[in-house]
Amino acid sequence: VIPVVAIDGPSGAGKSTVARGAAEMLGLPVLDTGAMYRAVTLAVLEQGADPHDARRCSTIARDVALHLEDGVIVLDGRDVSAEIRGPEVTRAVSTVSAHPEVRAELVARQRAWVDEHGAGVVEGRDIGTVVFPEAAVKVFLTASEHERARRRQRDESDAERDVALEEVREELERRDRADSTRPVSPLAAADDAVVLDTTDLAVADIVTRIVDRYRQATEHVPDGPGASERS
Ligand code: DC
């Protein structure tokens, strides 16, 4: 068991909200792996590369400098936290993230991030299945399609982009289909993941369940919580 909370699920399932809540209660940092795929996609688009070009995309994934800390993502020295949420990146990110070489590079960086931080809450699509199969806690979040579209639309309007619900819903469906059917590391719940539907569950309840499970699972992990009290 490694001191990681793995949170997977489709877009709009509430991963970021739940990840932040659990991280705060556990005093752990959060890694948003979707932001990493988005940042590489932004670099691909800015360099005028074709998102379908696996070689170009993987070279770019290897060459970019990426720093993620406290919800801020820095790409080659520039804060791109807002830009990576834009419509161009959202449209192309499933294509870029389907290339196995791009995934291999980012998975290596995700593991290095956890090594460096010692522990963390990591959210994405393949965290419990591929990146950290030994995670102390694995959660797979879902929500009804309507609810997920509604949440995404709210994110858009928070960023001052007004998009019709139907449009958000179509984009979301397209992306989820692409992410779930790609040959390499598709979006999926690990066999031992706790599957939670967030449509009607309170965030606080989900967070409490995760925190309890994490504390139980890491009681005897050398670097887990309580390690300093024990030694
Ligand atoms: O979580 P998000 O919507 O910001 O993620 C953007 C895209 O990145 C998502 O459509 C698929 C990809 N992704 C992935 O392939 N694997 C991950 N672990 C996280 C995200």
Over residues 64-70, the mean pLDDT reads: 93
CB-based contacts of 51, cutoff 8 Å, min separation 6: 41, 44, 45, 57, 92, 95, 96
Percent of the chain clearing pLDDT 90 (strictly above): 92
Closest listed residue to residue 67, CA positions, set 94, 26, 93, 29: 29
Report field, pTM of the whole predicted structure over 0.85? yes
CA of 66 from ligand 1 middle (Å) equals 16
Ligand 1 atom closest to Cα of residue 182: 15
Q: Are the C-beta atoms of residues 8 and 225 closer than 8 Å to each other?
A: no
Distances (CA, A) of 30 to 27, 33, 126, 168, 202: 10, 9, 16, 26, 20
Split at pLDDT 50, 70, 90, the class of 230 is very low
Over residues 48-62, the mean pLDDT reads: 98
Over residues 33-52, the mean pLDDT reads: 98
Output phi, psi for 187, to 5 deg. Answer: -60, 120
Distance CA 36, CA 42 (A): 10
Q: Are the C-beta atoms of residues 129 and 187 closer than 8 Å to each other?
A: no
CA of 4 from ligand 1 middle (Å) equals 18
Mean pLDDT of the chain: 94
Three-state SS for 99?
coil
Split at pLDDT 50, 70, 90, the class of 231 is very low
41 lines ligand 1 (CB under 6 A): no
Evaluate if residue 4 carries a pLDDT over 90. yes
* pLDDT tens digits along 74-120: 999 999 999 999 999 999 999 999 999 999 999 999 999 999 999 99
Evaluate if residue 147 carries a pLDDT over 50. yes
- Tokens for 73, please give them: 């993502």
Q: Lowest-pLDDT range, 3-7, 51-55, 217-221?
A: 217-221
CA of 30 from ligand 1 middle (Å) equals 15
Pocket-testing residue among 176, 179, 187, ligand 1, by greatest number of atoms within 8 A of Cβ: 179
Over residues 129-150, the mean pLDDT reads: 96
